[in-house]
Amino acid sequence: MSPQFTVAVLGATGAVGREMVRVLEERAFPVRRLVPLASPRSAGSTLRFRGDDVVVQAVSDDAFEGIDLVLCSAGGGPSRRWAPNAASRGARGLDNASAWRMDPDVPLCVPEVNLEAARTRAKGIVANPNCSTIQMLVALAPIHRRNPIRRIVVSTYQAISGAGQAAVEHFMAQASAFASGASMPEGPLSRQLAGSLTMEWTRDASSGYQEEELKMVHETRKILGSPSLRVSPTAVRVPVVNGHAESIALECERPISAAEARSLLAGAPGVRLVDDFAAGVYPTPLDASGTDDVLVGRVRDDLGLPGGILLWVVGDNLRKGAATNAVQIAEGLMLP
């Protein structure tokens, strides 16, 4: 018989937590019992799983007793509080917050890239990378394995769903007001996103970068095992509900052509080429939403750097950028 697991989802009522529950069901992960966990204010609500309403429980020390797997998407503070507790009781923790990503004793994993790293269990926790890092490395790993990458220049076009459900609702209210000419409603977004672009992640005053950008630098180096890899990021929030896009320029150790890159990407795990720009075919956030593949298009030679290439990479930030990546790690570690 196939193994069955008791699975807890911490932060189950949030946007990513709800997606984790959906992905567990869609991918038929062998869940014996689902235990949705959240803050006391969400306790007593229900989530739909396999046709049943499952009651959300308040997180506590005892909530992790008898749990085999914890999928955590509750933010950095709760993650630091509860992930070690779950691990101490024998559960394997897969954490979506940034709290553990750069801990040298915690693996940072994208299954298509470095699943073996996740088998390290010094603390019983495996970290999910940032959503933008995940989709970028799914696309770049097949190239990096054949021709090591020396430099990445990446600009992200990030959907508001990455900021959580409250931010989505505020953006939708902004969009309605923008369309009607009404004054902008107040809410969690610090600036107007409707009809505009923003760069409102935590700023690092000493470097001039945002936290979101620095995550891509440090996480990419850790996942690829390349501490000196040069990564030049710019992160931008765009008026899109779901689906992150990235414009990427690559320089490898040896010259690489667009044709060679396409051949490496074709059939690579987790990658789907959507690349016939002459015919108007290229991936968009709408194409990526609801899917688990990373879509790659506009693969072309870099006119400004002969021997380099440019790519356009799109992914569902709630699924492959968070929930699906975590479930895939669990599948790789726990299923035969």
pLDDT digits (tens, 9 = 90+) for 256-293: 999 999 999 999 999 999 999 999 999 999 999 999 99
Q: Are 140 and 288 found together in one domain?
A: yes
Which residue's entry shows tokens 């931010």?
167
- Catalytic positions, please? 131, 244
- In the predicted model, what is the mean pLDDT of the chain? 96
The H-or-E segment that residue 54 falls in is: strand 52-55
The H-or-E segment that residue 326 falls in is: helix 324-334
Q: Are 43 and 56 found together in one domain?
A: yes
Give pLDDT, residue 120: 85
* Residue 200 dihedral angles phi and psi, to the nearest 5°: -115, 40
Q: Are 52 and 89 found together in one domain?
A: yes
Q: 240-262 burial, b for 16+ CB within 10 Å, e for fewer?
A: bebbbbbebbbbbeeebebebbb
Helix (H, G, I), strand (E, B) or coil at 197: coil
Q: Are 155 and 77 found together in one domain?
A: no
CA distance 105 to 334: 20
Q: Are 108 and 224 in contact (CB under 8 A)?
A: no
Please give the average per-residue pLDDT across 296-301, as a whole number.
Answer: 98
Alpha carbon of 131 to those of 135, 137, 240: distances in Å? 7, 10, 15
Q: Are 204 and 243 found together in one domain?
A: yes
| Helix-helix angle 258-265:131-146, to 10 degrees | 110
Q: Are 116 and 159 found together in one domain?
A: no
Q: Are 300 and 327 found together in one domain?
A: no
Give pLDDT, residue 122: 82
Return the bridge partners of 149, or none: 252
Q: 43-58 burial, b for 16+ CB within 10 Å, e for fewer?
A: beeebebeeeebebbe
Q: Are 72 and 151 found together in one domain?
A: no
Q: Are 121 and 157 found together in one domain?
A: no
Q: Please give the angle made by the CA atoms of 220, 161 and 35, to the nearest 5 degrees.
A: 90
**pLDDT(1) > 80:** no
Q: Are 66 and 203 found together in one domain?
A: no
What percent of the chain is modeled with pLDDT above 70? 100
Q: Are 59 and 187 found together in one domain?
A: no
What percent of the chain is modeled with pLDDT above 90? 96
The 10s digit of each residue's pLDDT in 87-128 is 999 999 999 999 999 999 999 999 999 999 999 888 999 999
| Residue-number span of the structural domain to which 89 is assigned | 5-128+322-334
CA quadruple 316, 320, 326, 331: dihedral sign:
positive
Q: Are 198 and 79 found together in one domain?
A: no
CA distance 242 to 236: 14
Maximum distance among all Cα pairs of the chain, rounded to whole angstroms: 61
CATH number at residue 221: 3.30.360.10
The 10s digit of each residue's pLDDT in 210-237 is 999 999 999 999 999 999 999 999 999 9
The total domain count for the chain is 2
CATH number at residue 81: 3.40.50.720
Please give the average per-residue pLDDT across 239-254, as a whole number.
Answer: 98
